[in-house]
Amino acid sequence: MVMDKLGNSLQDALKKIVKSGRIDERTVNEVVKDIQRALLQSDVNVKLVMQMSKHIKERALKEEVPSGMSPREHVIRIVYQELINIIGKSTDIPLKPQTIMMIGLQGSGKTTTTSKLARYFQRKGLKPGVVCADTFRPGAYQQLKTLCTKLNVAFYGEEGNPDAVGIVERGLKELEKNDILIVDTAGRHSLESDLITEMEEIHAVAKPDYKLLVLDGAIGQQASEQARAFNESIGISGVVISKLDGTAKGGGALSAVSETNSSIAFIGIGETPDDLERFEADRFISRLLGMGDIKSLIEKAEEALGEEDFDMESMLRGKFTLKDMYKQLESLNKMGPMKQIMQMLPLGGMGAKIPEDAYQVTGDKLGRYRVLMDSMTEEEMLNPRIIGSARIKRIARGSGCAPEDVRELLKYHKMMQTAMKGFRGGKFNMQKMMKKMGM
């Protein structure tokens, strides 16, 4: 998951609330200290952390617990709300025809992010076109052209021509029939005067609806300086935090942007073209705290599966026969990496963990599972608990697999079923909690 270490630390802190006999000042102080440690390790500004800590303590100890909510749920709700306040609002980018100008320093991941943004709109049913106006960096033209070709996205550029403004003018005219026009501009090692001049000239020609600044998540708190500088120089509509999956300073970058007059539009969560997410603070914090992100999961399912039958209700109820499991895993594989998908589910309370090997369901394994299940009776498929040693031997013989393969399938099914059932409650009912928090 993006910012795994921060998420795990925050979940561990909230587990103290879930397990505590009563919510008193000592418990609140312990939890706040753990949250402070987690945020500071993620490079969040000390001043912001101390302000948030003060708010949590005051609210947890002085606010009246709302009707129908336990003291534990109330404190967790406060932490959730205060974390959202630290990150701030998000930039709303509508799904309609528009022109977007991409800006940023060299090495921020701007060119790759440009192709990911084109893919994002493509997944939403819009037709994107990309103009390469980066005439400064050698290889920028070929890199962006290759990325767009792989995605079947319309591309315009003029290799070797240093006239970025002219390229933009001709490119926008060439691609005018596309819904979304994205202009990738040149970066520099710093915000130099010639870069500002070029961006202003491109801006005058492109007349973009949005200007998105791409920042590398690894810069942490420095994100505020860059965002403020770009905003003061040419004005920006929003920020894209790239490479958020590979840094421990992501919390610092996210919170730093909120200190400026900017907001976050998208976050880069991986290396594939589909690994760009629209940023929404409430969904992000919910996932970080182990509460899942059902809205994003449903959106991802609709994008990947279209009209296919994806039984989300059955999945969330934990009603998982072997037949159900194979069908759902087949669908989930189309939606992206299993780990990303499973972490959108609220699995049984704060800090609930799924073993790493539960994510390793490859196409080869699915193929072997299908062969094994073809050798099972309908009764066994619907009720795997009846499969004992004699049945395991028969299934292995009939499928041409080893008995260990049958046991692996049954073990995996049991592990997944337990994880899904965790959504429904237990000692700490996550589903109920999410409703009370308006999620």
370 known member of a binding site: no
Q: What are phi and psi of 261, to 5 degrees?
A: -90, 15
Angle at 341 between CA 337 and CA 344, to 5 degrees: 150
407 known member of a binding site: no
Rg (CA), the chain: 25
11 known member of a binding site: no
374 known member of a binding site: no
Where is 206: in which H helix or E strand?
helix 193-206
53 known member of a binding site: no
185 known member of a binding site: yes
104 known member of a binding site: yes
24 known member of a binding site: no
CA–CA distance, 312 with 378 (Å, rounded to integer): 23
Alpha-helical (H) ranges within 376-402 are 378-382, 389-399
Number of helices (H) and strands (E) in the chain: give both, helices first: 20, 8
CA–CA distance, 286 with 14 (Å, rounded to integer): 13
292 known member of a binding site: no
CA–CA distance, 24 with 76 (Å, rounded to integer): 14
111 known member of a binding site: yes
Local structure of 303: helix, strand or coil: helix
287 known member of a binding site: no
Tokens 């076109």 belong to 129
Strand-strand pairing, 98-103 and 210-216: parallel
242 known member of a binding site: yes
166 known member of a binding site: no
105 known member of a binding site: yes
240, β-bridge pairs: 214, 266
351 known member of a binding site: no
311 known member of a binding site: no
426 known member of a binding site: no
Residues comprising the binding site for GTP? 104-111, 184-188, 242-245
Residues comprising the binding site? 104-111, 184-188, 242-245
